[in-house]
Amino acid sequence: MKTDCEIIKDLLPLYAEHMTSEKSNEMIEEHLNECKGCRKQLDEALYDKPAVSFSNQTDAVFTQYVQESKKKNKKKTVIIVIVAVVLAIAVELAVPLGFLALLFFFDTGAEIETNTDISRYEDYIGKNAVEPHNDKWDMDESIFPEHLTKEMTVEDYETVYYDPRDAQWLSYLVVDYPEEEYEKELKRLHDYKSTTYKGFYGAKGFDSKYDLAAMYADSYNGFVYALDAHEGRIIYVELIFCNYQFDFDYEEMIPKDYLPVGFYAGNSNNRIEIGNLFVEYN
């Protein structure tokens, strides 16, 4: 039975302070996976969103929590492995069809789609994008240029799309502008009502050679942003996913200096969650 939003909203303040039980957490998180309204209310309760955040997020805040959590996570990992092995043996011996279904769950047959054809840019990005690229978990792509004009020189472009069970996109566009168009575009980006991003997925900032011009951040679905590379160049990036992570090797798909420093959206086996923040450990 679907949990009523009013019940979840009553519990969110306690959930944000880690004061709810495990059973309540399971109910709340199951509801949050399906209800964007409640996710938004949780994000607004946890984080202010007035402008681009330039405050420092230090690792020292998490050190003690990480150390205490490592032992718990190792125990959980052992239990999960044992359960998985027992389940696999039982399914293989008793229910062959179930075993095949289990294999299907882990291998959907989905393929990674990559586009580098700039003539198809609007098929993948923006309000004119075609299905399935026209609804990216309600993420705001307006930071990207709506159209490519003759004044713009595109130096690099790529969009990666993958949908094994939950759709995800990684895109970047590198544009060189004439001086007047460059200043005009920077003004458009600086006028954008950027949101706070530091702390989401471990993000601490960007490479010092770039200035962050605009940012749309969502603690569940990722980032859309623009970097001022100076001397007429602007880099647009989107990192959009579901369930807090990419299901492909995103670091191989994009120059690493385009990513936020400290950003991690890989497999969750080696990270711990604090609210909607994630800390990676080895």
Residue 60 structure tokens: 């020292």
Residue 36 C-alpha from the chain's centroid: 15
Q: For 147-188, how does the pLDDT look when each residue is reduced to its tens digit (9 = 90+)?
A: 999 999 999 999 999 999 899 999 999 999 999 999 999 999
Between CA 202 and CA 246 the distance in angstroms is 15
Between CA 175 and CA 148 the distance in angstroms is 9
User: Which residues are bridge partners to 174 per DSSP?
Assistant: 156, 235
Given a cut of 70, is residue 66 above it in pLDDT? no
Nearest to 138 by CA among 167, 171, 172: 167
In this prediction, residue 79 carries a pLDDT of: 57
Given a cut of 90, is residue 269 above it in pLDDT? no
In this prediction, residue 29 carries a pLDDT of: 82
Across the range 127-134, mean pLDDT stands at: 93
Backbone φ and ψ of 236, nearest 5°:
-105, 135
Buried b (16+ CB within 10 A) or exposed e, 121-149: bbbbbbeebeeebeebbebbbebbbeebe
Q: For 74-120, how does the pLDDT look when each residue is reduced to its tens digit (9 = 90+)?
A: 555 555 556 566 566 655 655 455 544 444 444 457 899 999 999 99
SS3 for 90? helix
List the domain boundaries for the chain: 5-46, 60-106, 113-280
At a CB cut-off of 8 Å and minimum separation 6, what does 15 contact? Answer: 24, 25, 28, 42
Q: For 14-54, how does the pLDDT look when each residue is reduced to its tens digit (9 = 90+)?
A: 877 778 888 888 888 888 888 888 888 777 776 544 444 44
DSSP of 126-170: STTPPTTTT-STT---TTS-SS--TT-EEEEEEEEEE-SSS-EEE
β 153-162/277-280 pair status: unpaired
At a CB cut-off of 8 Å and minimum separation 6, what does 200 contact? Answer: 217, 218, 219, 223, 276, 277
Residue 228 C-alpha from the chain's centroid: 21
